[in-house]
Structure 1
């Protein structure tokens, strides 16, 4: 991380903030390694709040220059035009990922919009604020294909895919995640969008002990698998993903679709293609979804891989 490159960071912030729609967006993605000297910094616009995250401890000089640059940025014309209110600097390299409010007053539970869907976030208390912005096209894809469909959302977190599916006209969505608090946030977000929650199930279960229960809700027209790379005691991507894939043929309707995702930089798209071919050969690879342009990565295999498969019975 180099202080001399911060001028580039602020130039990109100004350019992106002046051109985005009235939605939340990532404005700067240094972790894609396309900006030399800025590889460990990101910036997200939460419709009035700017959240800047630093992932690796830099020299004190860098943090001081970044902090002063953010203060100066709050005086810019684009900040005023976009009605900016708060700037938060989150130190992800420190234990607990503490959030420092640089400008304004933190709104820790803002309501934001993406593609017509409202989400209430949780800012400043956790490493993540409740919605992974690189999955924007994935949520759009689900919304466009959910009309009158039955959807299974595995590792659902705060149920972003579920919100997209119901907004797209799904007749039923089943969300499964071990974290009850995340599912509760998903339920709140469905209510925030005035969705019919009688169409949505929230199962706080261990996936690998729940296949019988999930099968009773099925079969499904669309299954979404978006697991963490590693979850202590419950999931290791390269070891456990195959256990899920081999169950899919019995869970899908004829011509059912699977959106299988991996967001580990050390695992390529070929892992999913080969694993599906080995575990469920009747489910065939179709294509990989593009990532949003703001998440450009110097190595496409290191970024989010959202892969579409279809059952061919």
Structure 2
């Protein structure tokens, strides 16, 4: 990583001289993404020197660029010039690009600056032939975590005929994938009623039978009885935040969930346990499961999408499968 300096056109993780690599990557990844929602550039994985503090997403024919640290004036000017120039490229026309938005994540409120076109705040996007409605510009997260693409694909492929429990459901991405894959029922649990409402909309977008989907705006730790009554489950997905003030702290509370799994899971059921904190490794989940639910054994780690390559895989998203065998 570059040194933190205020000289010339570089700061830590933001070097103007590295921007040609940024634009080359966007061009090649945009060709691969086509019309699907996708991370095009992941500087946060520290695979590109001088670009560690910038990302770029392709969201509903919008280019969403996020800068995470105060850039030099030279870097910012070159970045904007290159992005605006993209709007005149044949590739932009081929991909039917609509707008280019620059989000200043280092500023309070993470304000967005529209460089080209108009911001589409609620686009409907496609991932693996599934539709999702996003909410752009209101929060730092727009309703679908793109690094979980292969996790959702795995759930879709494994859900046929199953009863699925989706803990910390957020906007129900796993639930939509499960029903799309033929699940008999999905039970979504999340404290945020507004997130679950968006999840319901995502199911409707895909023409799903909502009689097969439950939306429970519950505090998980106070609702085990209600959750258990809808089981036992063939597949349980656990995808918590690293920290949620007043309700969840990863290193303290994750084990409280793991110890409940034996009473919730069918004899040959699977658990997909996820953690996205760089402060803990896969071993945190493996050891925690062995301690709290030894009936479940570790089977595999689901790959992260290649566009989320990280110099240290243990600092990136960890998605681990555990199984309870007969």
Whether TM-score is above 0.5 comes out as yes
Give the corresponding residue for 2:246: 233
**For the residues of structure 2 that align with 1:58 and 1:229, how far apart are their CA atoms?**
27
Which secondary structure does the structure 1 equivalent of 2:199 belong to? helix
How far apart are residue 130 of structure 1 and its match?
0.4
**For the residues of structure 2 that align with 1:67 and 1:73, how far apart are their CA atoms?**
10
Correspondence 1:71 to 2:84: yes
Give the corresponding residue for 2:325: 312
Alignment equivalent of 2:210, drawn from 180, 193, 197:
197
- Alignment check: 8 A CA contact 2:147 2:317 kept: yes
- Alignment check: 8 A CA contact 1:99 1:125 kept: no
Correspondence 1:127 to 2:127: no
Q: Which moved more, 1:106-115 or 1:67-76?
A: 67-76
* 1:248-298: CA deviation from partner (whole Å, max 9, x where unpaired): 000001111000001011110000000000000011000000111000000
Map residues 1-313 of structure 1 onto 2, 5 A cutoff: 1-313=14-326
- Alignment check: 8 A CA contact 2:35 2:61 kept: no
TM-score by length of 2: 0.94
**For the residues of structure 1 that align with 2:308 and 2:138, how far apart are their CA atoms?**
24
- Alignment check: 8 A CA contact 1:9 1:28 kept: yes
Which secondary structure does the structure 2 equivalent of 1:37 belong to? coil
Which secondary structure does the structure 2 equivalent of 1:11 belong to? helix
Change (3 A) 1:48 1:21: closer
Unpaired runs of 5+ residues, structure 1, are none
- Alignment check: 8 A CA contact 1:98 1:125 kept: no
**For the residues of structure 2 that align with 1:71 and 1:49, how far apart are their CA atoms?**
13
Where does structure 1 differ by over 4 angstroms across 4 or more consecutive aligned residues? none
**For the residues of structure 1 that align with 2:294 and 2:61, how far apart are their CA atoms?**
48
How far apart are residue 22 of structure 1 and its match?
2.6
**For the residues of structure 1 that align with 2:31 and 2:88, how far apart are their CA atoms?**
14
**For the residues of structure 1 that align with 2:260 and 2:211, how far apart are their CA atoms?**
27
**For the residues of structure 2 that align with 1:19 and 1:26, how far apart are their CA atoms?**
11
Matched length? 313
Give the corresponding residue for 2:11: none
Unpaired runs of 5+ residues, structure 2, are 1-13
* 1:217-244: CA deviation from partner (whole Å, max 9, x where unpaired): 1000000000000001110001100000
